[in-house]
Amino acid sequence: MRYGVATAAFCVAAALAAVSGCGRQGRDLTATGQVVVEPVASETVRWAWAEVWQEGEEVVVEGRLARRGCSSCPVLGHVDVTILDADGKVIRQASSPVMGIRRSTPGTGLKLTPFALRMKLTPPADARAVLAYHGGGHEGP
């Protein structure tokens, strides 16, 4: 009986959290088709998922990376995001901070590393977000 009450209380709390807006605020531009995400293939990591959100005057590009292979060596890198309009013209570019990609070991499941970038931008319809992972730090100044 006690477990049934606890389960019911948890379900009610979860429903109230969902209705009250505990989740992400903003509009999912990937789901609406306004922005198409195009991840570039990498030898060292794979894209678990990525999406683009509009939050006020900012665009948020976020997702998760998974490391390829089973190596104990650290893998450091960053994500570059390029927003293009429908004609392929570059609208905005940004890079994530350098991050360590978590290693995967056989039998322990996937280890996902999150990334997120914010840009002041309202993308036009039919925009593309090209995501590329690069090992190491940022090039240039």
For the stretch 1-58, pLDDT in tens is: 544 444 444 444 444 444 334 455 789 999 999 999 999 998 888 899 999 999 999 9
Alpha-carbon distance of 53 to 131, in angstroms, equals 15
Given a contact cutoff of 8 angstroms between Cβ atoms, the answer to whether 96 and 112 are in contact is: no
Six-digit token string for 126? 């039919």
pTM of the model: 0.74
Alpha-carbon distance of 4 to 10, in angstroms, equals 10
**Nearest to residue 35, comparing CAs of 61, 5, 67?**
61
Question: What domains are defined for the chain?
Answer: 26-135 (2.60.40)
Q: Which helix (H) or strand (E) holds 10?
A: helix 2-20
pLDDT tens-digit profile of 77-128? Answer: 999 999 999 999 999 999 999 998 877 666 776 788 999 999 999 999 999 9
**Burial of 111: CB neighbours in 10 Å, binned 0-12, 13-18, 19+:** middle
